[in-house]
Amino acid sequence: MLALVRKRIFMLSYFHEAPSSSFPIWEIDIPDIPSRSCLYSLAPLGLGSPFVESLTSYICRLAYEHHIHTGTMLQHIVAPLISKHYIAGDQSRNISSFLRYATPINGNGVMASDWVNILALLTARNDLSQLTMLAVANAVSHRNLFQPTRQWCPICYSEWQRQNAPIYEPLFWSISGVNICLEHHRLLEKRCPHCLSHLPWLAWRSRPGYCSGCGRWLGNIGNANQIEEKDIYIAEMTGNFLAYISSASISVSRDVFVKSLSELISITTEGNIAAFARCLELPKVTLWELVQGRFPPSLPFLFRLCLQFRLSLLQLLVGLDDTLPDSYSPKKSVIKEDLRRFFDRAKVRQALEEILSDQQHEPVSM
């Protein structure tokens, strides 16, 4: 008891005698706390580069970071927030059948914007639209934009694993018409080497680098295979374009393409839309409507224009110059051949000589 009294006296005298400046002044107001996200605010990979990640890859990595299957995360956390008929209901059967046709999540339509908005809400990130083709929502048709099933570079997977880097799927691999790896210049794989399955871009057990069917690793050192110069050309210009549209929140206008196409027709066929359409084996009405900006061009059509006239997507759609491989040279211009076909010198000469040698009729009035 005496000890306790002595201790209290000591404490009182200590606090009484201590100078006030010895103690920090604590701020007791509650600070502004940033809003919390429901799911991890996982950073997307490769923004601003040709290897920018796809949104489907981001979804799979997000589920993996939470140690749950992609399907489980989508069924219990994402689907309830997307009140759309294509994913309505909480039955796993509905989700599984939806996932088989979920490629447009990476695209430039309503489904992509729905998923970007919901995932932005769940992760508190504002850069997820850059993992899709939403930047060209107005400039490129949503048709034929993507490969229907997964394709990948096994060497990229192996190298990332060896470097202990994150394993993911670049948006580049999903683009229709792209069939080689930009880094290793080899054909992308389309079937699991173990179970020989074609794989969807999203599945219940999707995980970048692994087969969603048999679950085995898809990376290997790979064999060299034959590729064409046009494949490199398409890969490089697509990579440059994806780097551009994923560098910031960008919206590409259709007007630039309309202007580029009109200039191209003016230069090559002196404005003759019919001749230009014949050269590209396109209905004249379709080309006329494209020139009028009535609907956006498809990606396969843009690739044809680029290959034929040695242009790039950046030049056609954005009006920017692009560095492309010199090795690719388009086949000799069919445009010039087509024009020659309309002006057949031999036939014209023959017709004129017949008129001159005709003594019975008067010359044709000019």
Contacts to Zn ion by CB under 5 A? 153, 155-156, 181, 183-184, 192, 194-195, 211, 213-214
- Smallest separation (angstroms) from Zn ion to the CB of 234: 16
* Cross-strand pairs, 207: 210
Report yes or no: 252 and 299 within 8 Å, Cβ to Cβ: no
Contact 153, 110 (CB under 8 A): no
Rounded-to-integer distance, Cα 169 and Cα 151, Å: 9
The least CB distance from residue 186 to Zn ion, in Å, is 7
Judged by beta carbon, residue 182 or residue 258, the one nearer Zn ion is: 182
Q: Find the shortest distance in angstroms from Cβ 212 to Zn ion.
A: 8
Torsion over CA: 142, 143, 145, 148 (sign): positive
- Give bridge partners of residue 58 from the DSSP assignment: none
The distance of closest approach from Cβ of residue 144 to Zn ion in the complex, given in angstroms and rounded to an integer, is 24
First to last CA, the chain: 134
- Indicate the residue among 127 and 183 with the shorter CB distance to Zn ion: 183
Is the CB of 156 or the CB of 290 nearer to Zn ion?
156
- HSE (CB half, 13 Å, CA atoms) of 188? 24
Range list of β-strands (E), 251-340 = none
Which of 44/50 has CB closer to Zn ion? 50
Give the single-character DSSP code of 25. P
Of 43 and 195, CB closest to Zn ion: 195
CB of 238 to Zn ion, least distance (A): 14
Query: Smaller CB distance to Zn ion: residue 39 or 192?
Result: 192
| C-beta of 195 vs 274, nearer to Zn ion | 195
**C-alpha dist (Å) from residue 341 to 143, 162, 279, 335:** 34, 58, 11, 10
- 146 forms beta bridges with 175
Spatial distance between the Cα atoms of 87 and 89, rounded to a whole number of angstroms: 7
Residues 6+ apart with CB under 8 A from 249: 126, 127, 129, 130, 135
Angle between helices 229-245 and 299-309 (to 10 degrees): 120
Give the nearer residue to Zn ion in terms of CB position, either 63 or 181: 181
Residue with tokens 């997820």: 128
- Residue 225 CB contacts under 8 Å (≥ 6 apart), including other chains: 186, 187
CB atoms within 10 A of CB 171: 27
Minimum distance from residue 96 beta carbon to Zn ion (Å): 17
Q: Nearer Cβ to Zn ion, position 12 or 196?
A: 196
CB of 277 to Zn ion, least distance (A): 38
In the bound complex, what is the minimum distance in angstroms from residue 160's beta carbon to Zn ion? 9
Closest CB 163 distance from Zn ion, rounded Å: 13
